[in-house]
Amino acid sequence: MQAAKFSLFSMIIIMVGVPLYALPATLTLPTGVRPGVKELTLEQAVQQLKDSRKTGWSLVEAARSLVADRMVYSRRNSFDSPGISFSRGYGYCLQHADALSYLLNQLGFSARVVHAFHNRFPDGKITSHAWVSVSLGAENRYIDSLFYNEETGELEFIPLSEISEVSPALKLLTYWGATAVNAHRYYFTGKDL
């Protein structure tokens, strides 16, 4: 009985404490749309991409580029949904990947968010990351709005652990956990990246 009470109490502390820990970081991010970008929802972006008359991999690149140009990396808006993150122009990797995956699926592609817990980035850091796997016909490619070389069409990081699809359960846990992790990194570095 004591262990059950402790477990329930611990869960409540964690469930409430994690978002509270992230709240000061969230409050430092300016409200509204990021300066330099115009208001644009994901739905409006889908229509804009359709109106471009691009097709195939050119349309995939247009969607990837739109997310890359619109959204800057931010550790301070972990509470925002992918749609709000896209509209505001701020987001961390999962928000970028979710927004890009949404656009591509609405454009008729088969796209899913994938991740690996260990990835080596150009600066030597090893950390978790989420990006998009997209299929067109029999061809599948990995694309990313944050670490991607447009000229070569390749990721600019190396997955070191298994790549897997982000399940709904993992997505929920990641969105909740990312609030504290991102805030913690922001508190210690004073930077969004």
Domains in the chain: ranges and CATH: 2-189 (3.10.620)
Lowest mean pLDDT among 24-33, 147-156, 175-184: 175-184
Element (H, E) at 172: helix 168-189
pLDDT at 25 over 90: no
What rounded mean pLDDT belongs to the chain?
86
Given a cut of 90, is residue 110 above it in pLDDT?
A: yes
Task: Band the pLDDT of 193: cuts 50, 70, 90.
Answer: low
DSSP state of 91: E
Q: What length is written for the chain?
A: 193
Q: Which residue has the higher pLDDT, 18 or 119?
A: 119
Smallest CA-to-CA distance from 68 within 106, 38, 96 is with: 96
Residue bearing tokens 């817990």: 117
Q: What is the bridge-based pairing of β-strands 110-120 and 90-91?
A: unpaired
Instruction: Please give the pLDDT value at position 172.
Output: 74
Q: Report helix angle 93-106 to 168-189, nearest 10.
A: 140
Closest alpha carbon to 113 in 156, 71, 175: 175
β pairing state of 90-91 and 158-159: unpaired
